[in-house]
Every structure is written in C-alpha cells, then in structure tokens.
Structure 1
Amino acid sequence: MNATSPRTPAQRTPVVRFFIGLWDAMNFTRRLIFNLLFFGLLLLLLFVLASGDGVPKLHERSALVIAPKGNLVEQYSADPFSRAMAESMGQGQGEVQLRDLLRALESAVEDKNIERVVLRLDGLSGGGMASRGELARAVARVRESGKEVLAFGEGMNQAQYQIAAEAGEVYLDPMGWMVLEGLGRYRAYYRELLQDKLGVDMHLFKVGEYKSAAEPYVLDAASDEAKEADLYWMNDLWQRYLADVGKARGLDPAAIAQGIDGLDAGIQAAGGDLARHALDQKLVDELITREQFDQRLVERGVADKDAEGGFRQISLRDYLARVDKSALAAIDPRPQVAVVVAEGEISGGKQPPGKIGGESTSVLLREARDDNRVKAVVLRVDSPGGEVFASEQIRREVVALKEAGKPVVVSMGDLAASGGYWISMNADRIYADPSTITGSIGIFGMFPTIPRALDKIGVHSDGVGTTRFAGAFDITRELAPGVGEVIQAIIDKGYRDFTGRVAEARGKPVEQIDEVARGRVWSGAQAKERGLVDAFGGLEDAIADVAERAELGERKGWGVRYIEKAASPFERFFIDMAQARIGQALLKDSSLAMGVLGRYMPQAADDLRFLEDAARPAAGAPVKTIAHCLCGL
C-alpha cells in the first residue's frame, strides 16, 4: 500500500524570488506611506480642532482696517481650495469680492465693538464706477452712523479716490501722488496689420450702426458713430463722478473739473509735487506719513503694541470670519433669496467662475428653481455679453423660474450690455446703478478669409464640390457673394430675435426698442430714461425687492445665499485646515504644499481673446452670432 505525501511547492528560481521580494517591498512601502499620510492628516485635524474655531476675538473700541489687495470682482475666478492654500502661504489671491467689502461695512455700522473704519485702498484695482459707487455709499453709511472713517494712501488713483472721498478724513503721504484725469477709452485697431501686412480679410456682418465691438478688426480708427455713442455715456458717468466727489468733499464739481483741465499749471505751481497739488485742490485733508497716521489712530483709539501700527484693530479677513461664523455653523432653515452671479463673457458650455457658461450658469439657476427653500432669485449681472445661443439658454432659465412661481430680479453691476442685457431682460424688475454701462442691443458676426495670407507663403487652395455651397465656408477660399448674403441673413434674424424679445419682455413696440437699440451703449441713467432699466439701486435693493415680491415678510424671517459651485468634502477639509492658524503655520513654508498649490492653481487666462475666438464659427454653423460689447472702462 503506497502512502501519498503532501505536494511540495515548486522550486523558485533566484530571479522569481527577487521579483517577489521586490513586489512585497513595494507593497509594504505603499501601505506604510498611506498609513503615515492617514495618521498625519488625522493628527493635523486634531491640531486644528484643538486650536479652536480660528476666529479672532474682537475687542471693544477696535478699528476695522480695510486694506484689500487685488481686483474688485463680483465672484472669485479661482476655486475655494486654491484660494485657501494660497492665502495660508501668504501669497494672496489677487481678487476681492465686492459682496465681502459691502458686508463688512454694513456690519460695522451696527457693531458696537467697531469704533472706526480705516481705509487703505492702495492695493485695490479693477471694478467699474457702479461697483465702486456701491462701496462709496456703504462707506458714507458708516460715516453717517457717527463712526469715524479715515482713508490713507501712499498713492491714490482716480478709481480708488471715488471710494476714499467718502471718508470723513483723507490723508496722503507727503511723497505720494493723486491725480484726477477724467474718463478715456482708447483701443488698438488692427485692419492694416491683418489686411495689408498679413493678408487676412475680416468680413464683418452686423446690425446697428453703433455696434462697434468688432470695429478694431476692420478699421484703422473708431467710426464717427462709435465716438458719438461712447462720448455720450462717458460724459454722463464723468459728470456723476464729479458730483459725487464734490458732495462728499464739500467742493463745487465745476471747480474740480476746472482743476483737472488746468492740471499742467496746477502741478507747476506746486513745484511738481503731486501730493501738494492734491492738498491745494482740497482733495485731501493733510499730508502725513504712514507712521504719523498710525500714531494718530493710537491716540484716538486703544494702543496695542502687538498689532501692526500699534493700535487695536481687526483686519477685513478676520472680521468677515466673525460675521460669517453663524452662517457656517449650520444650514439656514429659513426661506431663502438665492443670488446667482453672472460675471464675465458669455460662452457656450460649462465655464469656470469669472466667465458665464450657457450650461454652467443655467445649472445654477435650475438649482434655485428645484430647491424648495429658495423662494426668489436675484441674478447679479456684470457682463459685456458674448455668444447669442448661450445667452438664450440663460434667458430661458430666467423665464422657467418665473413660470415656477419664483420671482426674479436682476441687479446690474458695472456692465450689463449686449448679451448681458439679453440674459436680464425677462426679469420681473431690473435694477442698475446710474453709472452702469448697459444697452448695446445688437448682433454681429465675423468671418475671416485667408487666401491672400496663404499666397504670401506659396500655399494655394483648390478642389471641387457637388453644390454651390459645398466648401463655401472654407476660410482658405475667397468669400463668395452668396455666402455673405447667407451670413448677413443670419445676423439680421438674430437682431430681430433680440429686439423682439426685448419688446415682449419690456412691454413695448419693436419699433420703439429699435430706436434705442442698433448697438448703442447707454449709462444706467440713460437706460432708465429709455425704459431699458426699471429702477436705480444696488444688490441690496434688488434683494429687498424680490423678497417683497415673494411675500417673505420681515427681514429676519428669511435668509440670503449665493448659489455657486460648492467645494467637495475633501476641499472643504483643507479649506478649514488652511484657514486655521495651526494650518497656516504648517503650510506656509511647506515645499510639499507649494507643489500642491502649483498643481491645482487655476491656469492663466485663455490664449485667445473672445473676439478672436468669435471669428471661428461653431461646428455645423456657418457663423457664430455674437451679442458682445467692448464698452468697459
């Protein structure tokens, strides 16, 4: 009887044993790294929790120091994770939200711990006259509440001064500068470069003699119609600027204008000293250094040797953290007014913040429509327009909101022109600042042809087609008359759609809309006179109006929230960690964090400007119809 023995494993060769051992080592290393990362993050989380809520204390008799650095925007163009990482490492974010500045100033009015507000606006850039006007009025409300408002600058441009002028006291460094010069708008024109030098023929199709957005591509200088229209609305804005500054400073607007016209003589009389000239013109109260200004705040307030400048204070960032603390604690169960921001150029598809996407912005409006807690919507528009179809997608969502029983009010920011007006026109009510730039109701399309450019390098196009129009829209061929007629017919139809929809939305005859359309740009005040805008007011006025339309009752009974792309849970964790003091300390000098930041920070602006992209027709369409206005300042 034969006994069977257990099977012995096959003999492994040295090569096999080597690779198996290597694989086991790699597995062990992988598990070790992941475990270290897990426990490291867990330890970091415990540190964050142990460090408290990260919200600095606010002592009585504090000065709120508002020293924003970056472009004034309606909405951040970077995602929350990237902003938090950049801020934690002291790199700043390059953008300042208008809503944040307004919220801080409005809260300071009622905050008993805020004794005064200090404005240092040297680092604030961008924005238009409408948004800066909202800020100026918020500063004025703080001053009218009886609290001191002081502004100091080492240099102050015309835009910054629009806000600073509302302070009770305006100071400038003796070696500083400030110049008011008026409004100007000049553009580069490329016809000679494109047509004569490069051999590229840009064929422009438009409706409206004032529709000048594409003129730089087909002319060597601005048309008479463009100059007439631009000077008309710019003069209105400038007179408003002079009136506002004059009222704030107790000066005659005519005297301010006279001082600007005599700038050369005034500077020479001041010995070339720009700061002295500003003082002579009574635009500032006194010339003192930053140290002298800080010492004045120490004397008026409470000394704090550990604070920058030596006086008790709280920064804008820390103050906003306190203001928003309750909002972050839990979801507000009250009925909501939703605010959807539409800022930037309007393009098709999904676009990141800072641009308006036909799909992405529609998704936000649809979210407001589907959310049972949202009872009304404010669409905040700051846009020069863009693609017609994308604008129409957004307009349809506004109509759908109204059909769902949710009122919609539009709040125009600095610019709501062309496509920006298209997405606004169906709102229950349109608010604008008198200095908002709007209108530009018109359509254009561009079609480039490049056979002459190809000739310059010895390249020629030839072939056959089965019909007259087979290959007729090929940019390597000359533009046939029939092709031009097709494109112009498309543009004409787009203009009829635009004016027809405006007439229906505004309850006016098409002929009356055509009189104020034809691509002409208007200031907010001029637009109201012509029935394109309903009322003057800022974002808060629009919110109050739409809440009343939704019958939400007293202000304390409803909340306001912005509907934006939310951060993921992973991003939310890192945002909270990065904003805590322990997180900032750990991240500030971390080369690993710098690598992560470099990987996830948003890329620079698109390689091609909007109009250059507009010259390329959409797939399947002979021309892309554009409702765009190059009318910002």
Structure 2
Amino acid sequence: MNQPPPLPSRRNPIAAFFVGLWDVMNFTRRLILNLLFFGLLFLVLIVFVAAVGRGNGVQPLKERTTLVIAPEGRVVEQFTADPVTRALAKALGDSAAEEVQLRDLLRAIEAAKDDRHIERVVLQLDKLQPSGQASMREIARALGELRAAGKQVVAFGENIGQPQYLLLAQADEVYLDPMGGLLLEGYGRYRQYFRQGLQEKLGVDVHLFRVGEYKSAAEPYILDAASPESKEADLYWMNDVWQRYVADVAAARKLDPAQLQAGIDDLPAGIAAAGGDLAKFALEQKLVDGLKTREQVLDLLAERGVADEDDDLGFRSVSLGGYLTQIDSKRLPVDNRPQVAVVVAEGEITGGDQPAGRIGGESTAALLRQAREEDKVKAVVLRVDSPGGEVFASEQIRREVELLKQAGKPVVVSMGDLAASGGYWISMNADRIWADPSTITGSIGIFGLIPNFTRTLDKIGVHTDGVGTTRFAGAFDVTRPLDPAVGQVIQSVIDKGYADFTGKVAAARGKPVEAIDAVARGRVWSGAQAKERGLVDELGGLREAIADAAARVKLESGKYRVSYVEKAATPFAQFMSGFAGSRIGAALLEDSGLARAALARTMPETEAQLRFVENAVKDRGGAPVKSLAYCFCGL
C-alpha cells in the first residue's frame, strides 16, 4: 500500500522573515557589484575613446598666437594635492583647491620669449594668489626678459592686489577696469595674541622655553602684544623687502621711487581728490596706462592680433595650460643626458612620511637618497620654501645632504620665499646657498611650548591626583601643575638644541660659534641682509642655483637636463587624472550629478590646516618635550 507524500513542513514565520531578508540583501549586494563593475568598464571605455579622439599628437600653434596667462589659485613650488584631487577639483569647478606651480609659470614665459608663433602675451592675474615676494620677483624678472626680447606684454585687471601688481607692472601696457581698484599700501604683519584669553578666561597656563630674544614664534601664547624685540626684527627685514618692491615697480613703470612712496603716504588726500575713484587714482599715479573694461581690452587685442570667431576670446589665443601642453609635447621621449636633480622642500617640516608638496623627515630624506643613488644624477639643487618645524625631522634631511656630498654629488640650495629656522637647518650644509634678496631666512633658534590645563579643569571641578614611583613619574602630564624642576629639564633640552643649531651652522659656514650666535638668537633677515651676515652665499633665483650645480660637475649648458625628484603618482591616480583631464571626462564630471556624488568618494580626504604648534604639542611621539625650529614669519 503506497503512503501518501508527506505534507511540506510549515516554516517558522520568524525564520521565514530572516531568510527573505537575506535574499533581498544578497540580491542588493550582487546588483551593486554589477553596477560598480559596469560603471568602471564604462569609464575605461570613455577614457579609451577620449584618447583615440585626441590622437597622439598636439595641434601645432598657428602664427601670431596670443598667449593668455590667467592662472587661478596659489603659487606653489610643488602641488600639495595628488593628481586625482587636482583633476576632480578642476572638473568640478572648485577654485579654492586650484594651484599653479612656479616652475610652470616660468617655463611658459621663458618658452614664449623665443617662440616665433607667440606674438604677444596677455596677463590677467586677478585670481592668482601669490605666496611670497621672492617667487613674485622671479616671475617678474622672466616677464621683463620676455618684454626685452621684443614680445608685447599687455596686462588687464579688474581688482589688482599689491602682490599681483609687481607682475603686471612689467607689461608694456596695463589696463584697469573703470570700476576696479588698485592700492599700494606697504607690508605689515599682525598676529592675534592669546595670553589673556588662555590664562585669564580659560585658565590655560602656557610655558615657553626658548633661546634667543628674537625667537617670537610662540609669543602669542604668552603675551598680549608683540615684544619690542619682535617688532624691531620684523620692521628691519620688512623695510628692506618693501624698499625693493618699490624700486622694482618704479623701474618697470619708469617712475621715481620717491613718487610712489609719496602716493602711499598721501593716500587719503589723493583718493579724496580723485573723488573716491580708486581706478582714477591709480591712473593719476601712473600705475596703469588706461581704464578699460574687459570687453574693450578683448576688442583691442582682436584688432592687434588675428580675429577668430571660434575662439572664446575673439582672437587667436592659447591658454597657459594649453601652451604647457605644447611645450611638453616637444620633449624627447628618452633623454639620456646627465641630470641636475631638483628636490623641492616646501611647507612645514614634520616627522615621518609626508605626501607630495609637504616636507617629511623620512619622505624628503628619501627623495634626496633617491637622487644620490641614481647614476644619471650628477648634482642636486634643494629648493627650500619652509618656515621650519621639528628639529629631528630637519636633522634627518640635513644628514642626507651630507651623504650626497660624501657621494661626490654637489648640493646647491635655492631659497624661495621663506627658508627660516628649520628651513635654514636643512640648507646650511649645502656647497652653496642662493637666495633672492627678498627671501625671508635666518630665525636660527629653538623653542618648546608646554600648555598646562590644571586651572582650566579646576573651573569645572575636575582634579588630577595619584601616585608615582619616582618624583618625575607623570611629571609631564599637562593636567598637573608643572614642577619647576621639570621646567629646568625642558630648558636644558632647548639650550642643547640651540647649541646644536649654532654649532652646526658655524661648522657649515666656517665661522666661530660666537659669530653665528651674534646673527642668530631667532632673528629673521631678508636674503640681502643674510648675505651681508654670511648666512647666504649668493643672491639669485632657481635658474642661477641650477647653473651653479651644473658648473660644479663641469656640465655645459645644453649638455644636461633638469629633473624633479618627486613622489610618483599611483596607477589609479594617473588613470583618474587622465580621465578627469579629458574633454569627455570633464564634461561628465561637471554635468552629471550622479558622477559627481560617486567620484567625490574616491577623492582623498583633505586634512584641516591645523596650527603647527598645536600639532606638535598634541603629538610628542613619546618624548617628554619636542624641540621646534619654526618661524611664524612671512608676509
């Protein structure tokens, strides 16, 4: 007798719910993975099509082309963001993240000087954010040489800042919008001082340990106003830099420096006489040649050049980026000439491995080591633009400079806008130090900063107590009162750091320690003043430093190439940079909200710009006190 088939067992409702939920989740997971796969495949196809569409060549420039230099963002020695971030920021229109490398500006101007296709150069620098006086003078010199070579230079601005004007003044003609403005006001440096707020309001006691009465970097934490020594030192170098600015502008505009200075001193009366019209006042002061709107300037350029309705500007032109692409396309694919390598050290000096565009004790030392181990590199130029930072990280970099010299490869330092304190530490052992007369350098001194939050915690009823096996166990705890004996230990460490600093400078510069101490003690100098005091060897820019390095290994002009030793971008970064830089990729990123939201997640997180001292105090790496060689100097 056959048995009837068993009835299917009834699933528990709760179990059925979770099984169904798992099925939904599993389906969703597969769907997302498939979407991601096909999305990436789609991006690869787009890049491939864009590459095919562009072809391997670059369209050559036509005769009588106008080079339009209108950079946006801050002038830097080296990009501070990776290629992915830069490409995506540009595609998404994030102007705040824009940067322009000094070397790119210089090589475009220098190439245009001898390029028969470039008829004239137009400068529009309203959106340029200068970094310092030395780099601006280097660009101004290149523009002056361009003009001297017979290329017409026309400048236009709607609201012209004092730093940008040094560059615009080099033009044959400078035009300002009738509703715009231009004011020369001089240099100043003012900081906020926090002693009252920290100590009296919040109960934070800040203990400063330093050597050198001019070492004023941490004064804002312990004073309510600048010390007399700080004001004396700042005004000394600042006046020197300002007088050079006035002289440079006066020479370019064929004016009397005294006339320029008088116009600033009589600023209220002069502007009142011009009816409050800043543009009219600038014209009366002969700072500009005429008042024209942007449209009027474009019409003028179309008349002088070659009118082109297909060009956005109305005349045959090439942008800075387009011209750099032209220059790069002419480079030899393989260049076996010996090299003068340039290693850029820009920013604050911190420990460890730092990304490109920042100075790390390990990462910057590794770049120097790479140059030492590369057979094709015969000499090295260390381009320094730094206010300093951690002493140990600075010493790591200085040791690599010494090893390069021991390997028979000369090292020449080129100081940029700022090479002070730790920035001077990493420079001092070079075979020769070059600086612009307006470089800010020196600040040979050491300090340490220890905050104490005992009174702050008292205000909210929090107290620290406990026991230790020795007198100094827990003595560096910032929630306990600072023992005077601990302060003595810290000051001894700082004294030793200063002795190391001045001793190493004395040995490197071939001078007695007493002579170095006389010009040290934390005092800041301009490049010209530093040369007078034996801290700098020669006055000049990066060009002169590279020529010096080449001459030291008997490399003649044209017989070597200049290479930059930098961190290489990852394959993914190169892929994304190429995609975002393509015409199709840029259009997709700009117009597609979905692409914008998805790709934004692939961008590296940008770190907040925290104060250097606060970072150093927070992270001492296990050391009871960290010595700092840092300078809060600059314009």
User: Which of the numbers 111, 121, 133 marks the counterpart of 1:107?
Assistant: 111
Once the 2 structures are TM-superposed, how far is the Cα of residue 44 of structure 1 from its aligned partner? 3.6
Partner in structure 2 of residue 73 of structure 1: 76
Q: Deviations over 1:290-315 (max 9, x none)?
A: 11111111111110112123111100
- Greater shift, 456-465 or 589-598, is seen at 589-598
Q: Is the 8 A contact 2:217 2:632 kept in 1?
A: yes
- Give me the whole-angstrom Cα distance separating, in 1, the residues matched to 2:25 and 2:488: 72
Determine if the alignment matches structure 1 residue 318 to structure 2 residue 326.
no
Partner in structure 2 of residue 303 of structure 1: 307
Partner in structure 2 of residue 266 of structure 1: 270
Q: SS in structure 1 opposite 2:591?
A: coil
Partner in structure 1 of residue 502 of structure 2: 499
Partner in structure 1 of residue 3 of structure 2: none
User: Which of the numbers 389, 393, 399 marks the counterpart of 1:386?
Assistant: 389
Once the 2 structures are TM-superposed, how far is the Cα of residue 597 of structure 1 from its aligned partner? 4.1
User: Which of the numbers 615, 619, 622 marks the counterpart of 1:620?
Assistant: 622
Q: SS in structure 2 opposite 1:175?
A: strand
1:46 and 1:13, CA in 2 relative to 1: closer, same or farther beyond 3 A? farther
Once the 2 structures are TM-superposed, how far is the Cα of residue 591 of structure 1 from its aligned partner? 3.0
- Greater shift, 96-105 or 354-363, is seen at 354-363
Q: How does 1:124-273 map onto structure 2 within 5 Å?
A: 124-273=128-277
1:307 and 1:480, CA in 2 relative to 1: closer, same or farther beyond 3 A? same
- Greater shift, 102-111 or 80-89, is seen at 80-89
Partner in structure 2 of residue 369 of structure 1: 372
1:617 and 1:33, CA in 2 relative to 1: closer, same or farther beyond 3 A? closer
Q: Unaligned 5+ residue runs, structure 2?
A: 1-7
- Give me the whole-angstrom Cα distance separating, in 1, the residues matched to 2:277 and 2:178: 9
Once the 2 structures are TM-superposed, how far is the Cα of residue 526 of structure 1 from its aligned partner? 0.0
Q: Unaligned 5+ residue runs, structure 1?
A: 1-10
Q: SS in structure 2 opposite 1:324?
A: helix
- Give me the whole-angstrom Cα distance separating, in 2, the residues matched to 1:574 and 1:54: 21
- Give me the whole-angstrom Cα distance separating, in 1, the residues matched to 2:10 and 2:559: 78
TM-score, normalised on structure 1?
Answer: 0.94
- Give me the whole-angstrom Cα distance separating, in 1, the residues matched to 2:135 and 2:47: 40
1:199 and 1:562, CA in 2 relative to 1: closer, same or farther beyond 3 A? same
User: Which of the numbers 284, 287, 300 marks the counterpart of 1:280?
Assistant: 284
Partner in structure 2 of residue 62 of structure 1: 65
User: Which of the numbers 581, 584, 598 marks the counterpart of 2:583?
Assistant: 581
* Superposed CA RMSD: 2.3
1:606 and 1:587, CA in 2 relative to 1: closer, same or farther beyond 3 A? closer
Letter in 1 for 2:404: L
1:596 and 1:415, CA in 2 relative to 1: closer, same or farther beyond 3 A? farther
Once the 2 structures are TM-superposed, how far is the Cα of residue 167 of structure 1 from its aligned partner? 0.8
User: Which of the numbers 479, 484, 490 marks the counterpart of 1:481?
Assistant: 484
Determine if the alignment matches structure 1 residue 544 to structure 2 residue 535.
no
User: Which of the numbers 337, 341, 344 marks the counterpart of 1:341?
Assistant: 344
User: Which of the numbers 450, 454, 457 marks the counterpart of 2:460?
Assistant: 457
- Give me the whole-angstrom Cα distance separating, in 2, the residues matched to 1:546 and 1:31: 56
1:479 and 1:47, CA in 2 relative to 1: closer, same or farther beyond 3 A? closer
Aligned residues: 621
Q: Deviations over 1:205-251 (max 9, x none)?
A: 00001000000000000000000000000000011011111111111
- Give me the whole-angstrom Cα distance separating, in 1, the residues matched to 2:58 and 2:90: 16
- Give me the whole-angstrom Cα distance separating, in 1, the residues matched to 2:481 and 2:345: 39
Letter in 2 for 1:69: E
Partner in structure 2 of residue 595 of structure 1: 597
Q: Is the 8 A contact 1:233 1:522 kept in 2?
A: yes
Once the 2 structures are TM-superposed, how far is the Cα of residue 82 of structure 1 from its aligned partner? 1.8
1:42 and 1:221, CA in 2 relative to 1: closer, same or farther beyond 3 A? same
Q: Is the 8 A contact 1:350 1:360 kept in 2?
A: yes
Letter in 2 for 1:283: L
Partner in structure 2 of residue 95 of structure 1: 99
- Greater shift, 95-104 or 44-53, is seen at 44-53
1:38 and 1:256, CA in 2 relative to 1: closer, same or farther beyond 3 A? same
1:29 and 1:249, CA in 2 relative to 1: closer, same or farther beyond 3 A? closer
Q: Is the 8 A contact 1:340 1:563 kept in 2?
A: yes
Letter in 2 for 1:474: D
- Give me the whole-angstrom Cα distance separating, in 1, the residues matched to 2:494 and 2:19: 74
Determine if the alignment matches structure 1 residue 357 to structure 2 residue 360.
yes
Percent identity, please. Answer: 64
1:483 and 1:306, CA in 2 relative to 1: closer, same or farther beyond 3 A? same
Partner in structure 1 of residue 5 of structure 2: none
Q: SS in structure 1 opposite 2:353?
A: coil
1:42 and 1:600, CA in 2 relative to 1: closer, same or farther beyond 3 A? closer
